[in-house]
Structure 1
Amino acid sequence: MRVQVLSRRLLGRVDVMVGLKRGIIVPPNFKVERTIEQVVSILSQDVIGGPKNYDPELYNKMREELIHVLPETQEELPKRRMMDSYDAAIIPLGSNPVLRDRQKPGSASPFSIVTALVDKIDFKGKIHSDSDIRMSGHVTWVGKSSAESTLYLEQKRDGEWTKVTEARFVLVARDPLNRGSAFINPLEAVTEEEKVLFNKGEENKIRRFQMSQDSLFRVPPTVAEMEIIHDIFIRTVDHKAMSFKARVKPVNTVWMEDAKLKNLIICQLEYRNRFNKIFGGFIMRQAFELAWANTHVYGHCRPYIVHVDDIWFRKPVEVGSMLYFNSQICYTSEQFVQTRVSAEVWDPKSGEMSVTNVFQFTFELRDQNPAQIIPKTYHEAMMYLTGRRHFVHSIAE
């Protein structure tokens, strides 16, 4: 209820899709018979192929032999239906106690499929560690070389599979050596349900483009956002000193500069993916754990993840890299905390840092409301407004 009230206050209204509900399409009579371990094994051996050990030269040689298989135009490829891409697997947390104790969440293809971004991850309910998880999903939108894929995680509640997490990814097809884009099969939307999913995917693409154009790195804040920042400035300036430099922190607030947590990891071989780069899921996990810890320290109670969005994979991370994570509490509203994490690769030769990923996490503190975060400098104010934008988007989903 509090989320709904907050949504109306920040947005004025929340758009709700009427009629057909967006979701994934399950083919009739589909039986989930494989575990996630079997799916990964098949993907590694029969689809991606390549040497089993870390051998970049041999891997590149084998991938280079596949370049001639790539189509020159998208028209050469047959159209696909959404159900053609549907797959599901079981994560046997309940039926395999060993896996539960570990607490782990044909011919080679010429395509190198890489994750461009995680558009969103919504957490709908509590995930129990003693119950199997069913993972399912399929492609919901396709462009020339990119595709949106929607994924569900479900657990049984009273004998029925119940959705606990929904995620949306955008993946890009590249050539075998990951040097340029590659065409993929066009998607044919036939049924009304398929058309709704495809149109929503097109809307998501337009929304992402508009958000990039409205970025505070490109354009100034809106009038309403300027008023927010000016109001914070008026509340924190020392009126007795009559100086713009003298600042006073209001009661039950925290300066943004005092709400950071950092970490650095060395990217070992064991964290690589099938293309000999550092696995994006590993980077996401490190970022999430740092954000969760920072939010826990800030709020003085356990935080619960509500939403993850706008995770851009700007460049691959090489094996052996030093990956620097910087977590920042950037916005608060009632019981919610918006936490930003940036991941940067440090070049030991030049001493320079280059951003590889930026993460936005929305947490909820259920025991108490946190102190209000307050920006002091202009760049902190821009980070504050960006965090607010992501938070508004997360509660509107």
Structure 2
Amino acid sequence: MTLTDPSQTLAALIRCPSVTPEDGGALSTLAGMLAELGFASETVTFSHEGTPDVQNLYARLGSDGPHLMFAGHTDVVPVGVRGAWTHDPFAAVIADGEIHGRGAVDMKGGIACFVSALARLIARRGAPEGSVSLLITGDEEGPSINGTEKLLAWAAARGERWDAAVVGEPTNPDQMGDMIKIGRRGSLSGELTVEGVQGHVAYPHLADNPLPGLVELVDALIDPPLDAGNDRFPPSNLEVTSIDTGNAAANVIPARATAKFNVRFNDTWTAESLATELRARLERGAGRTRLRPGRGPVRYRVGFESRSAASFLTRDDALIDTLSAAVNAVTGRTPALSTTGGTSDARFIKDYCPVVEFGLVGKTMHMVDERAALADLESLTVIYETFLERWFAARVQAAGTR
């Protein structure tokens, strides 16, 4: 295997069936590549009651100077119906200018390109003047309990400090050079339960249907909009993801109804202030009687998941500008600086250093026939190599002028 060729490094990783929480040999394969480049690696396993044990990898090249972290994950989502794939999802088949396989885009492709970028840089001019570390988890697609968050704390406790980080998640919607993620919206999930009184549909006066009350409360959560967004983030949005009564009978009024919801929120809110606002909306909605004439206030309870994710925005202009310039130099495009999309492990990294995200085109991630264009792999590798060279040069120069 030639490490300077991203299609070869990616193929080796795809062939490891690392569906969360199984490692499938992915981390040892990656550690072997990094050893060829002079990295020292450690594999660390974390545990938590009620969750599977997860292996993680921390690798570092260099011992001083400016320190850049590259973060990502080798775990992948399940393949679904295996027979629906055009090619075996773990065979890394190359066809029609694309490499097929689970994780090709999300996000073994980003890891492979970063390894190949380092290999090219080291072959051309030697190791960077500073330190590079890779922080790779096997728990990004799973509960995210035994992965990046714990690995960061473990490394920091050993004295590791970072100046900046790049996460290799797929960030480009349509073509390479579209978008860099410079922040993420927060995420808060909740469950709302309305209590009623079970009864026969023919005798509604003897029962209390919880569904009209649930509709009133859901309406109160959704309207009016939480905010209008700002120049950094789009508007926060609340999505109801399920409504359930556990009732299969058409002639029975259910005893209770439950709705689950998730809010992706901008920096107008914290998880705490948002939960306070949602509780206030529910309290107001509980008194509405439009759908429940003659009834008292809706009897409900609401709970929020304890593992919410905070919104954040990276303000390191040197990091952002250097990556943007590298993207432009290779693709000719000026990438949008975005905070859209879901959450990522960048939400943990931002507590340790400035972090940006840039990777492949994400059109096929999590889909049947996930695949990456070979041309995109080459572009991303050159972008990473250009960024590495420029970022370290700027940091070393800045240190020399102090």
TM tier, smaller: under 0.3
Bigger fraction of residues in strand? 1
TM-score normalized by structure 1? 0.22
Higher relative contact order (CA 8 A, sep 6+): 2
TM-score normalized by structure 2? 0.22
> Based on CA coordinates, which of the two structures has the bigger radius of gyration?
2
